[in-house]
Structure 1
Amino acid sequence: MARKALASATNAPRLSLREPRDVTRVEEPHLLDGDHREGELYERASFDGEELAGITLQECVLQGVSLNDAELRGARFIECAFEDLFAPVFRAPRSSWRETSLRSTRWGSAELYDSRLDGVHLDGGKLDYVNFRSARLTDVLVSGCIIGELDLTGVRATRLALQDCTIGTLTLDGAQLKDADLRTSSFRGISGLDGLRGATIDEYQLQLLAPFLADSMGLRVEG
């Protein structure tokens, strides 16, 4: 849940996440593209480079799993709990995530363009580049993450909160935001300032944005 400091007229993400129960541990996990798996636990497994397009995982738990360069295009994750996912290259464009939590994620390049996230909490990860271009984000909380570049180009987001995150570059060209809360997070650079329309920031962030706003308006500031 978002902390009290974020309480305002801006609506916070509505999350109703729960840890999957009564899951069955899979001793020698093997997944195929198009599989539908339900109520399973995968621990310290590697699916590096595997073709997993269109798979569905429902009420599953993944802990310490490596998905480097696995093909997850069109995958569906429903009421899952992920922890310590590792992937220098994470490829899941056009994927669907619903009521799912991800903790301590370590991604290099994450391709999540054209994806849909509903009721998702991404907590405490280190991610170099996250591509959410043209994605639809509803009730999404990103907290305690270090992100090199967060690309929200063309995103449609409702009740999105970036909480206590450190972000290098935030790209918002063509973004459509409603109830997007950016307070408590820091950014070294922002591209596409028009995409900030509909977002909530704090006074300190406004001061940091001043040079970018002046530049976008062609203003010359002299002491």
Structure 2
Amino acid sequence: MTNAPRLSFTAPRVEDAVADELFAGDDYEGMRFSVADFGEFDLTGTTFRECELASVTLSEAGMRGTRFIESLITASFAPVLRAPRSTWRDSLVESPRWGSAELFDSELRMLHIRGGKIDYLNLRGSTLSDVLIEDCVITDLDLGGATTTRVALKNCRIDTIDLTRATNVDLDLRGSDFAALNGLDGARGVVIDEGQLSLLAPLLAGQLGIVVE
């Protein structure tokens, strides 16, 4: 039996705030930033706790080690999202429009990503626990070296998934369409349906040296 992600997100109570100045390493709580451009900000190590970010631009913002805790991020835009080693915990990311999302070595726990489009979601070396991604279009999903526990992708369209050296427990891909899966060495613990198995059959045969004529 496959264990589903355990989610408990509740929309935070927030007050409107102005994003004229945000400082690296500061802790912001209970604030709502709307239609703001964070592109020039250094948000290294900054924490957003019980905050709402609505229609914000995050492109090129320095977000290494940024933490989103019990927060709501809606309609965010970033041709390049630079957020390695960031933390996304007990939060909802809705309708993101991200180009290259550099989230490698990050921690995603009790995170729900719903809708939107992401060209390249780089989660190499990250830890994902209780994560649901649904109704999202992802060109390339990179989980190389990642550790996943109770992660589900539902009704997503994905071109390529890379699982090289991944460690998975209940990584549920059922109900999503993907064109290619790389890194079969990291596919243990993945849950797929019969239709997806037929897609993977040639790859599995090649991995085992089986010739099909």
Q: Does structure 2 retain, via aligned residues, the 8 Å contact 1:13–1:119?
A: yes
The residue correspondences of 1:102-113 to structure 2 (distance < 5 A) are: 102-113=93-104
The residue correspondences of 1:54-73 to structure 2 (distance < 5 A) are: 54-73=45-64
For 1:137, what is the secondary structure of its paired residue? strand
- Partner Cα distance (1:28, 1:177) in 2: 39
Distance change >3 Å, CA 220–CA 157, structure 1 → 2: same
Per the TM alignment, residue 217 of structure 1 is displaced from its structure 2 partner at its CA by 2.0
For 1:153, what is the secondary structure of its paired residue? coil
Corresponding pairs, count: 213
Q: Does structure 2 retain, via aligned residues, the 8 Å contact 1:29–1:42?
A: no
Aligned with residue 84 of structure 2, among 66, 84, 93: 93
- Partner Cα distance (1:196, 1:144) in 2: 22
Aligned with residue 15 of structure 1, among 3, 7, 13: 7
Determine the structure 1 residue equivalent to 2:157.
166
Determine the structure 1 residue equivalent to 2:147.
156
* 1:100-129 deviation line (CA, Å, top 9, x unaligned): 000000100011111001100001020000
Amino acid aligned to 2:138: I
Determine the structure 2 residue equivalent to 1:142.
133
- Partner Cα distance (1:135, 1:217) in 2: 29
- Partner Cα distance (1:161, 1:20) in 2: 24
* 1:128-163 deviation line (CA, Å, top 9, x unaligned): 001100100000000011001000001111100011
- Partner Cα distance (1:171, 1:30) in 2: 38
Amino acid aligned to 2:190: A
* 1:155-194 deviation line (CA, Å, top 9, x unaligned): 1111000111100110000000001111001111111012
Determine the structure 2 residue equivalent to 1:118.
109
Q: TM (normalized to structure 2)?
A: 0.98
Distance change >3 Å, CA 177–CA 28, structure 1 → 2: closer
Per the TM alignment, residue 196 of structure 1 is displaced from its structure 2 partner at its CA by 1.3
Per the TM alignment, residue 216 of structure 1 is displaced from its structure 2 partner at its CA by 1.9
- Partner Cα distance (2:188, 2:68) in 1: 30
For 2:204, what is the secondary structure of its paired residue? helix
Q: Which runs of 5+ in 1 are unaligned?
A: 1-8
- Partner Cα distance (1:58, 1:33) in 2: 14
- Partner Cα distance (2:61, 2:45) in 1: 12
Q: After TM superposition, which residue ranges in structure 1, 4 or more long, deviate above 4 angstroms?
A: none
Amino acid aligned to 1:41: R
- Partner Cα distance (1:147, 1:220) in 2: 32
Distance change >3 Å, CA 113–CA 28, structure 1 → 2: closer
- Partner Cα distance (1:192, 1:18) in 2: 36
